[in-house]
Amino acid sequence: MLKFIVKLHPEIIIKSKSVRKRFTSILERNVKMILRKFDEKVAVKNNWDNITITTQLSDEQTRLTFIDELKRVPGIEQVVEVKEVIFDTLDDIYQHALGLVAPVIAGKTFCVRIKRQGTHDFTSTEAERYVGGGLNQNVEGASVKLTRPDVTVKIEIKDNRAYLLTEIHRGLGGFPLPTQEDVLSLISGGFDSGVATYHMMRKGARTHFLFFNLGGAAHEIGVKQVSYFLWKQFSSTHRVKFIAVDFEPVVAEILENIDSGEMGVVLKRMMMRAGSKIAERLNIPALVTGESIGQVSSQTLANLSVIDRVTETLILRPLIHLDKQEIISTARQIGTIEMAEAMPEYCGVISKKPNVKTRIGKVQAEEEKFDFDVLNTVVDNARIMDIREIEEATKEEVKEAESVSELPQGAVVLDIRSPEEEDDSPLEIEGFEVKHLPFFRLATQFGDLPQDKEYFLYCKKGVMSQLQALILHEKGYLNVRVYKPSK
C-alpha cells in the first residue's frame, strides 16, 4: 500500500472558511480525476487542512507516477510520502522510525521534528527527545545535531496514528483549477507566451489558447504541440479550446498601408481587437500575453498604453516585470524550453526604426488607412477546436515527417541539438555518418549539404527534430526524416 499527504498552498489556507471549503473540494475532485486514470480504486480524502491519498498498489512505477502527476496539479504545495503507524506508546513510534530511517541517517547528523494533534500523555518536545535519543543510541555513526543537520526526520502525530514522512516533494502551488475565471492566452510557441500561459494555469484560471498564424502550416503544428503539452502537463482536468486565426492577410495589409515606425504597435492592436472579439464570442473575460516591459520596441510603457486602449477587454501580463533569463529558466523548469528553442521567429512585421514612444493620435491616423474588412474576415474564419483533438489532428498533419528507430544503409544523421548538449553527450552511431548541425543553423545551411543523401534529424526528445523536419519539408526538402532510437 502507498500513502501520500497532499499539503495545500498557503494562500488557500488563509482564505475564508467558505472559500477554503470550495477550493479544497475542487482540488479533491481534480486529484481524483487524475489518479483514477492509474488506479480506479484510489482513495482520496479531504481532511480540511490536507488531502490524504491511499492506493493498494505498491509497485515503484505507481509510486513514481503518482508523485509526478501530483507535483503538476495546481493548488498542491507539497506531496508527502508517508508510512502510517497505529501506536499505543512512544516506543511504538520509535521502533517504526528506527526500521525506516536507520539506513538514511547512518553516519550522518540528524534531528527529529514532530508535529502533534490530539490528546496525549507526552508533548511534542518529549516525543522528539525520545525518538531522537533512541536513534542516536542505536544507529551506527548517527549523531544528533539540532541546527542544519544532514537529515531531518519528520513525524506527524494525530490522535493514535503517527505518520512517518519518508520523502517530501515540492508541488506546483497556486490555486486549483478552475477557481478563477477563464482566460484566453495569445500563444506563439516561444518562451514568453508559454510561460505566461503556465502562470495563469497555476493561478487557477482555465486557460484557452489563441494562435495568430504568421508562418504557415509548420508554425501552427509547432504551436499546437506546445499548447497541448502545457494543457496535458498542468490543466488536463478541464476542457479548453484552441483557436487558430490566419493573420497573414492582416500582416500584408499592415505592410502595404501602415507607416514603418508604427507597424509593431498596429499589429499588436489588431491582435487585441481580434482577441477581444473571439473572447467575447466564447464568453471569456480576459486576454493573456507574454509581454514584459522593455523587452522589444512595442513593449515600452508608452506603447503598451496605446495597445491597451484599443479594447475594453482586460489584458493580463503575468511576465510584465520579469527578465528574459528568468522567463527562460521557467521554460526550462516546466519543460517547454526545447520546443521554444525550436520555434522559428515569425515577427510578421519588422520596422527599421520602430517608434518606442508612439502617440495614440498618430496610431489612429495610420489605422484609418487599414481595411478592417480584412480583420473581420480572418476573425470570422477562426478555427476553434477542443484541445483534446490536437494529439490526433497533429499526428495526421505531421505524418509526412516519418520517425524511425533503425537507420537504413547510407543514412546520414544530423544531430540538431545545441552545441552545449552535443558537447555534454556526443552522438556516435557505429556504421553511420553523424554530423552536428544545430537547429538554429538548419534552415540556412541544410541546402549546402549533398542532396543525394537521406538525412535523419536527431534531438533528445524528438520534439525539435519533428518540427524542424516539417519546416524543411515546407521548403521542398523531402529527403528528411526523424531518427528516434528505441531506448
List the binding residues for ATP. Answer: 186-187, 268, 290, 299
C-alpha to C-alpha distance for 194 and 202, rounded to whole angstroms = 12
* DSSP assignment string, 118-155: S--SS-HHHHHHHHHHHHHHHSTT-EE-SSS-SEEEEE
Q: Which residues pair with 143 in a beta bridge?
A: 109
C-alpha to C-alpha distance for 282 and 295, rounded to whole angstroms = 31
Instruction: Cite the beta strand spans of 87-238 per DSSP E.
Output: 109-117, 143-144, 151-158, 161-173, 180-186, 205-213
Q: What is the dihedral of CA 110, 97, 159, 10, to 10 degrees?
A: 50
Q: Which three cell numbers stand for residue 231?
A: 494543457
Backbone dihedral region for residue 294 (phi beyond 0: left; psi -120 to 50: alpha; all else: beta): left
**Would residue 459 show up in a list of annotated catalytic residues for this protein?**
yes
Neighbours of 130 (CB within 10 A): 18
Catalytic site residue from 214, 459, 463, 467: 459
**Which residue type sits at 421?**
E
In SS3 terms, 421-478 reads as HHHHCCCCCCCCEEEECCHHHHHHHHHHCCCCCCEEEECCCCHHHHHHHHHHHHCCCC
Q: Which residues pair with 43 in a beta bridge?
A: 54
Cell match 503517527: residue? Answer: 162
From the list 185, 187, 461, the residue with the least C-alpha distance to 346 is 187
Q: Which residues are annotated as a binding site?
A: 186-187, 268, 290, 299
**Coil, strand or helix at 405:** coil
The pairing of beta strand 403-404 with beta strand 480-483? parallel
From the list 397, 392, 429, 399, the residue with the least C-alpha distance to 414 is 429
8 Å CB contact between 187 and 214: no
First to last CA, the chain: 30
For the chain, the residue count is: 487
Which are the catalytic amino acids? 459
